[in-house]
Amino acid sequence: MAQSFTNFKDADSQLLASLYGKADLNFVSGKGSYLEDASGKRYLDFVSGIAVNALGHCHPSIQKAIAEQAEKFMHISNLYPNKPQIDFAEKLLAASGFDKAFFCNSGTEANEGAIKFARKYFNRKGLIEKQRIVTFVNSFHGRTFAALSATGQPALREGFGPMPGEFEHVVWNDTNALCKAVNESTCAIMLEPLAAEGGVMTISEEMVKTINELREKFNCLVIADEVQTGVGRLGTFLGSSKYGLNVDIVSLAKAVGGGLPLGVVLMRSHVAEMLKPGDHGTTFGGNPLACAAGLAVVNEVLSSGFLESVLERSEELKAGLAKLAEKYSFLGNVHGDGLLLGIETEKPVAELIASARENGLLVHRAGANVLRLLPPLNVSKEEVKEALSILDKSCSLVS
Ligand SMILES: *Cc1c(COP(=O)(O)O)cnc(C)c1O
């Protein structure tokens, strides 16, 4: 720590641009589902670096993969093919059923790529009028300009000047509004299979059916932003396939790099065939260390029984949350699927988060009034129980 500061929170706010509301904590190490701070206090981590640490902290297979690749090379650019990218792409395509992969560095970048590929696809086909992208109110697709334009939260766009055009936002699960918005000039319908940041909102069967029909009727693409839902979070490798969405392009990030920055766009061959060298690119995209770490994660997620246990832990956690909602009248409906769960609260969600933290549990928020739980995907039955008991205590302290 810089000598002039007495704690990390002060140092952080003096030295880093104040863009986040940070808690006053100084974590020094993590193992599995736990983080430890400088005082030796342990925290059960149900934030997982915002759905990044799918295997918890310091998973040995990720550590090994990174160490081994670090002995070989850490960066060589996208001018040359390399084994970490090829091995990882092969695994991702086999797991997802998609045909081609593009590697970048983050979620917002994966969405920028997805949007560019969708527009280029129709442009190359000579259908230059097909540029409109329909997305959803309260969606979250990232902070760079096109991804922000796609994001259905006007407050996040405020003060940043003109946004890329031809984006339209429709109310989530409003099939009538979607039918009105989609037409011959629609390039793509872009959606999170489960709207995470916007309040952990699941998609209705009716909506899935409508999206699939509109895709056929108007010959538009469907882009699934699986930055948060992908790589097993919902108990299937992709959330879109779980819900039966017919998808042309998928964006992945968060968990896909095993804790290192990595984004991926998966696409069907009809999309890939319309792309040419020079259309898009990135210096760091598909960094060999990140791809090696990502391969280790995906191998674990696809290992026998792993996704089944995600669904089992999900049921336990959902049932436990529902019990808490019976006990505390300020708690409301339980939302979500897999290990992307939320519970409505009438008490300020920040208070509940702070109380849980005091009691050794890290949780996050979604939307205005939803407490969001994102445990590691390999969380144990005992850890789920522990989290529920800490939440119970935390609720009793705020009520
Ligand atoms: C986190 C997130 C993003 C943005 O990812 P970054 O890596 O922060 O750019 C985009 N879409 C969804 C659904 C996300 O959860």
CA of 227 to the centre of ligand 1 (A): 6
For this structure, is 8 an active site residue? no
Q: Which of 88, 98, 130, 254 is catalytic?
A: 254
pLDDT 10s digits, 364-392: 999 999 999 999 999 999 999 999 999 99
CB within 8 A of 266, min separation 6: which ones? 92, 93, 96, 98, 100, 101, 249, 250, 251, 252
Nearest CA to ligand 1 atom 11: 141
- pLDDT above 80 (res 261): yes
As beta bridge partners, residue 251 has 225, 265
Distance CA 220, CA 190 (A): 10
- Centre of ligand 1 to C-alpha 39, Å, is 32
Confirm whether 125 is a catalytic residue: no
Q: Does the CB atom of residue 59 touch ligand 1 within 6 A?
A: no
Which ligand 1 atom is nearest residue 144's CA? Answer: 9
pTM: 0.97
Q: Is 225 in the pocket of ligand 1 (CB under 6 A)?
A: yes
Dihedral pair phi/psi, residue 202, rounded to 5°:
-75, 160
- Active site annotation includes 140: yes
Find out whether the beta carbon of 228 lies less than 6 Å from any atom of ligand 1: yes
Q: What does the alpha-carbon distance between residue 392 and residue 170 come to, in Å, rounded to a whole number? A: 37
Task: Express each pLDDT in 32-70 by its tens digit.
Answer: 999 999 999 999 999 999 999 999 999 999 999 999 999
Q: Mean pLDDT, to the nearest integer, of 350-377?
A: 97
Ligand 1 atom closest to Cα of residue 254: 7
Tokens standing for residue 271: 């999309």
Q: Is 140 in the pocket of ligand 1 (CB under 6 A)?
A: yes
Residues 320-335: tens digit of each pLDDT:
999 999 999 999 999 9
Mean pLDDT of the chain: 97
Between CA 324 and CA 200 the distance in angstroms is 18
Give CA–CA dist 335/365, Å, rounded. Answer: 12
26 C-alpha to ligand 1 centroid (Å): 25
Nearest CA owner, ligand 1 atom 7: 107
Query: What is the end-to-end Cα distance of the chain in Å, rounded?
Result: 37
- How far is the centre of ligand 1, averaged over its atoms, from the C-alpha of 254 (Å)? 7
Q: Of the candidates 208, 273, 281, which has an alpha carbon nearest to the alpha carbon of residue 240?
A: 208
